[in-house]
Structure formats: C-alpha cells, structure tokens
Amino acid sequence: MTGERGDPPDPAGDLGAYRALVESIPAILYVDEPDRSSTNFYISPQAVDLLGYTQQEWGTTVDLWIEKLHPDDAARVIAENERANATGAPFFAEYRMFAKDGRVIWIRDEAVLVSHGHEPPRWRGLMLDISAQKEAEERLRWSLQALRQTVQQRRDLAQRLERAQEEERRRIAADIHDDPIQVMSAVDLRLQMLSESGEPATRAELEPLHEIVVHSIERLRSLLFELHPTTLDREGLAAALKLMLERAAVEAGWTVRLEDDLAAEPQAQERALLYRIAQEGVANVRKHAQAGRVLARVASRDGGVTIVVEDDGVGFDTSVIGEPVPGHLGLTTMVERAELLGGWCRVTSKPGSGTRVECWLPSVGEPDDEILSD
C-alpha cells in the first residue's frame, strides 16, 4: 500500500497488503521445488485450516504431499507431477488427500513453473477444496445410475409383457385352430352331406345354415390371423406385413404398397411389436381415414428398425387421440410401448392431409438369421 500523494512507496506496507491478500484467498497458495517430492518452499496458512498440517510440517517433511495422497490417486498424480517436471508444462490434477484428522479432502491443484531473475525455477501453485463439488457429482452419479436402473427395469417389464402377450395370442390361436375351426368345418361337411342326400325343401332349409357356418369359419380364420399370423414366425416381418396389407386391401378396397428395406430380420420380440404397431396403424386407417391408398415401409435404421404406415385419408387432429377400444393397442399405447423399449413412435396428421404413423425400435440382440417354423 502506498502513502499520501507525493510520499515514497512503503515496501513494508506493500508486502503486508500482499500477504493479507494471499492469506484471505479461500485457497492454498504454495511454492514448491520442481523435484519428485515437490519439496515445499512456501505454503499459505490456509493449508492448516484445510488439511491440518502446519507450515513447518510442510517445509520439513520432505514427502508429506506424496505420503498423504489417496492410494487410488497417487500413481496418476505422481506421474502427472513427473511429466510436468520433465517438460515444464503446467501441472493440473484433481485428487484426494488425507487430512491430519483422517478426513478425505478432494483437491484441485494447478501450478506453473516460474523463474525470477537468477533464482531457480519453482512451482507457483494453487490448491482448492472441491470436496463439496465431488460429493454433489457423486450424488448425481448415483441418482443417474438409479434412474437408469429404473428405466431398465421398466424396459425389462415391458419386454416380459410383450413376450407374455404374444405367447398368449399364440396359445389362443392354436386353440382356435385345433378346436372351434375343426368343429365348424366338421359341421359344414355334415350340412353339405345332408343337403346332397335330402329333398329339395331340405336343401333349401340347409343352405342358409351352410352360409352361416362358412361365414363363421372365415371370421374365425380372420381372428386367427389377427391373433398371431404364422407368417410372422415362418417368413418374417416384411412377409407378414405384406399379407396383412393385402387382406386389408381386399376388405377395404384400398391400393396398398409395401417397401422393404430391412438389412436383417429383427429379433422375435421386436418383430412382434413392430407388427402390432403396423396392425394398429392399418386398423385406424380402416376405421377413420376413408383412404384410397396405404403405404407401409419397414427399414433398418440407426441401429434399429423403423416402421411407417401412412395413408391419403381425411386425417385428424392429433391432440384429441382418445383411449383405445377393447382389443386394440391404440395410438397412445403404441407410443408408450415403443418408448418403454427404448424407441419412439410419432403420429403425424391434420384434417384433410392423411395420417402418418412412424415408429423406431432399437435392436435388442443379434438379428435372426433364420425365421422360426412352427
């Protein structure tokens, strides 16, 4: 600090002000020799407050800094110190030290090699206590890990649910094939035999029954296909989508097209959910779109599979997507299921411009090289 105007500077005052400034900084300032032990030449009093070792201990205990390094950090920090000593490049490290009372303190240590006049170069450094920051980072890390575990648990649950539902659909489809359809087919055969052997009046009475039975068999077969198309397991996703579109086109009078850009067949679980999403998209077109053309596209993309169903129908306001009707996933449920499995699903539409349903699912394992047979 200088005196009144015109008075000469007061060196003692300047030194005292500098010392006061140094000792008021919330950090440790130090001067070390550029040797392996970082022999201390000077350390500010904050070292006593933070770590508990006196200035005398720092100056007389040659390996104090090395001895108090946390064993998990020591090799890394010593290697950084040796590199800085050898090259003269700035030193920077974050590490743990043991305080005198046994506490573990996180330190951020930065230093530069400085030389004044004919004096040998020394490290001028600053040590900050970053324990609170590291504790916050650790809490955040654990929170993120817990969140990832929760998300993974939800995904595992969603995958088990999908597998259980597909297995149940497969079981019901097998039961329908093995019992009701067989029985109805036998009834139809018996009706035809009676009609051929009976009087004209009898044939006239049996003909409506025959039509009802044939219609019922067709409805059961259609239900069988919706529950679990065997094509999905035997020939793969694209083949099942093609068959579904063709059946829908016959019923609705659409023009349909399938674009298949799959590089590899998805795993069974992905294949099933992608098929269900497309199935729901087609069902919504049939119920609401008043469409003339329907396009479906399936493609390998970004480490997963994308599926798109779009139409040229009347479109709708996506802000009023309602709850699904019984027996259908519903657009909202499709979005939720795709997200639970780590993917996404978007519905794009507006009145008068058709609708586009696009979903992407990540690949969960190696692609299926072979499609399973029954």
Burial class of residue 262, CB neighbours in 10 A (0-12, 13-18, 19+): middle
Q: What is the mean pLDDT of the chain?
A: 79
Is residue 129 scored above 70 in pLDDT?
Answer: yes
If we measure between CA atoms, which residue out of 40, 71, 46 comes closest to residue 58? Answer: 40
The confidence band for 372, taking pLDDT boundaries of 50, 70 and 90, is very low
98 and 52 in contact (C-beta within 8 Å)? Answer: no
**Winning range, highest mean pLDDT, from 77-91, 110-124, 240-254, 255-269:** 77-91
- Residue 297's nearest CA partner among 367, 225, 237 is 237
- Contact predicate 283/311, CB 8 Å: no
Report, in this order, helix, strand and coil percent for the chain, each rounded to 5: 55, 20, 25
Predicted pLDDT of residue 347:
87
Q: Scan for tokens 């493609």, then name that residue.
A: 299
Q: What is the mean pLDDT of residues 119-133?
A: 90
Tokens of 330: 């519903």
Per-residue model confidence (pLDDT) at position 325: 46
Taking the CA of residue 18 as centre, how many other CA atoms within 13 Å lie in the half-sphere pointing to its CB? 8
Residue 279 or 226, more confident: 279
Arithmetic mean of pLDDT, 239-245: 89
Give the highest mean pLDDT range of 18-32, 76-90, 189-203, 212-226: 76-90
Residue 337 has pLDDT above 90, yes or no: no
Identify the band that residue 90 occupies on the pLDDT scale cut at 50, 70 and 90: very high
Mean pLDDT within 282-298: 86
Percent of the chain with pLDDT over 90: 27
Which residues are bridge partners to 127 per DSSP? 28, 109
Predicted TM-score (pTM) of this structure: 0.48
- Kindly tell me if the per-residue pLDDT of 14 is higher than 60: no
**For residue 41, what pLDDT is reported?**
87
Distances (CA, A) of 349 to 294, 299, 322, 354: 14, 22, 15, 6
pLDDT at 199 over 80: no
The C-alpha angle 251, 254, 257, rounded to 5 degrees, equals 115
Confidence of residue 287 (pLDDT cuts 50, 70, 90): confident
Q: Give the bridge partners for 253, in sequence order.
A: none
Closest CA to 307 of 250, 352, 351, 244: 244
Residue 278 has pLDDT above 90, yes or no: no
Q: Is 338 exposed, middle or buried (0-12, 13-18, 19+ CB in 10 A)?
A: buried
Residue 333 clears pLDDT 90, i.e. is over it = no
Spatial separation of the C-alpha atoms in residues 175 and 224, rounded to whole Å: 10
The candidate with the shortest Cα–Cα distance to 223, out of 180, 165, 269, is 180
pLDDT for res 260? 92
Contact at 8 Å (CB) between 25 and 46? yes
Tell me which of 3-12, 30-39, 175-184 is least confident. 3-12
Residue-wise pLDDT for 346-370, tens only, equals 888 888 888 899 999 888 655 555 5
The arithmetic mean of pLDDT across residues 152-167, rounded, is 67
Cα 244 versus chain centre, distance: 31
The fold of 11-129 is Beta-Lactamase (3.30.450)
3-state SS class at 330: coil
Please provide the DSSP assignment of 50-63 as one string. HH---HHHHHH-TT
Compute CA 77 distance to the chain's CA centroid, rounded to the nearest angstrom: 35
> Residue 114 to residues 42, 79, 90, 122, 147: CA-CA distances in angstroms?
14, 20, 10, 6, 47
Which pLDDT value is given to residue 171? 65
Is 50 exceeded by the pLDDT of residue 4?
no
Q: 3-class DSSP state for residue 4?
A: coil
**Which has the higher per-residue pLDDT, 153 or 145?**
145
Average pLDDT over residues 55-84: 92
Q: Give the SS3 label for residue 259.
A: strand
* Mean pLDDT of all residues in 120-128: 91
Read off the tokens for 106: 């996180």
| CB count in 10 Å sphere of residue 198 | 13
Decide: 285 and 291 in contact? Cβ < 8 Å.
yes
pLDDT tier, 7 (very low <50, low <70, confident <90, very high otherwise)? very low
Confidence check: pLDDT of 179 > 70:
no
In terms of CATH architecture, what is 236-374? 2-Layer Sandwich (3.30)
pLDDT band of 224, cuts 50, 70, 90? low
C-alpha distances (whole Å) from 179 to each of 167, 183, 220 are 18, 6, 11
- Which of 356, 358, 359, 352 is CA-nearest to residue 285? 356
